[in-house]
């Protein structure tokens, strides 16, 4: 059931219903708590708490949010924060929704349509890369994580969440359905996730799982101590 990168791009370029439903749910935290618990057995509060990390960056820091979806992570940036925020996604529909959300929040983000495994940015361009609920949709998460690590500055942080296998038969069966539909690419288990991060040369790898959702962070070596 492994799909090519081009096949995944075609699928998400034209997909409408699943992204719209997902975006509506995650924009309403109480609904997301219920949906996350029922669907994946997850307590999503850790994900919402992690959004705030972008707001703790120093003035002028650069953030890459990919895939940004409808802009749910924007809520972590306080009004007036002086950040260079790049929001990227493969789906034109989600980028339109993200632009609208940024407008409502007064966030002067730059929006880019792209594939995660081909980031059009130079090395060491960002202080923080966030990738929430996207890795499991990709056909080659290893390459995607390597690209995100490439564009991080030394000392920069990669943080995000992803659906993982191995959390139980019910969850693995649901993942199989999403893969059959083409919504999921090649999700791995927690060990795989750690391996993707380490293979990209990242350090201080931290992975925790709640239900079938893993939260992770890692640091690009070489920053100031």
* pLDDT at residue 122, as a whole number: 97
SS3 134: coil
Q: Is the pLDDT of residue 223 over 90?
A: no
Rounded to the nearest angstrom, the gap between the alpha carbon of residue 121 and the centroid of all alpha carbons in its chain is 17
* pLDDT at residue 136, as a whole number: 93
Radius of gyration of the chain (CA): 16
Let me know if residue 87 belongs to a domain: yes
Q: In terms of DSSP H, where are the helices of the chain?
A: 5-14, 17-26, 29-40, 45-50, 92-105, 141-150, 169-181, 190-199
Domain span including residue 16: 5-219
**What's the CATH code of the domain at 51?**
3.40.50.150
* pLDDT at residue 1, as a whole number: 45
Let me know if residue 224 belongs to a domain: no
Sheet containing 110-113, strands listed edge to edge, beginning at the edge strand earlier in sequence: 110-113, 84-89, 62-65, 126-132, 152-163, 213-219, 203-210
Let me know if residue 122 belongs to a domain: yes
Please give the angle made by the CA atoms of 178, 186 and 14, to the nearest 5 degrees. Answer: 55
pTM: 0.90
d(CA 120, CA 96): 20
Let me know if residue 225 belongs to a domain: no
Backbone angles phi, psi at 26, to 5 degrees: -70, -25
Number of domains in the chain: 1
* pLDDT at residue 117, as a whole number: 84
Strand partners, 166: none
Which residue from 156, 149, 152 is spatially nearest to 196, judged by alpha carbons? 149
Q: For 103-153, write each residue's pLDDT tens digit.
A: 999 999 999 999 888 899 999 999 999 999 999 999 899 999 999 999 999
Q: Is the pLDDT of residue 35 over 90?
A: no
Q: For 4-27, write each residue's pLDDT tens digit.
A: 545 566 665 556 666 677 777 788
* CA distances, 114 to each of 2, 68, 86, 142 (Å): 21, 11, 12, 17
d(CA 92, CA 12): 9
Full DSSP string of 43-77: -THHHHHHGGGGGGSPTT-EEEETT-TTTGGGGGS
* Bond into 67 cis (ω within 30): yes
d(CA 54, CA 75): 9
Let me know if residue 177 belongs to a domain: yes
């Amino acid at each position: 059931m492994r799909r090519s990168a081009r096949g995944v791009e075609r699928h998400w370029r034209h997909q409408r219903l699943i992204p719209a439903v997902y975006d509506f749910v995650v924009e309403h935290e109480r609904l997301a708590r219920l949906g996350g618990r029922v669907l994946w057995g997850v307590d999503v509060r850790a994900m919402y708490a992690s959004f705030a990390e972008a707001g703790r960056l120093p003035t002028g820091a650069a953030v890459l949010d990919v895939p940004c979806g409808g802009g749910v992570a924007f809520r972590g940036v306080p009004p007036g924060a002086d950040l260079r925020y790049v929001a990227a996604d493969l789906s034109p529909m989600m980028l339109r929704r993200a632009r609208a959300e940024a407008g409502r929040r007064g966030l002067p983000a730059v929006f880019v349509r792209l594939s995660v495994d081909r980031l059009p940015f130079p090395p060491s361009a960002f202080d923080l890369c966030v990738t929430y609920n996207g890795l499991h949709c990709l056909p080659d998460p290893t390459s995607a994580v390597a690209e995100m690590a490439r564009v991080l500055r030394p000392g920069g942080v990669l943080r995000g969440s992803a659906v993982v296998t191995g959390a139980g038969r019910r969850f693995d069966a649901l993942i199989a359905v999403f893969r059959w539909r083409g919504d999921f690419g090649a999700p791995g288990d927690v060990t795989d996730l750690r391996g993707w991060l380490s293979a990209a040369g990242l350090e201080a790898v931290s992975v925790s799982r709640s239900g079938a959702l893993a939260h992770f962070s890692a640091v690009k070596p070489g920053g100031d101590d």
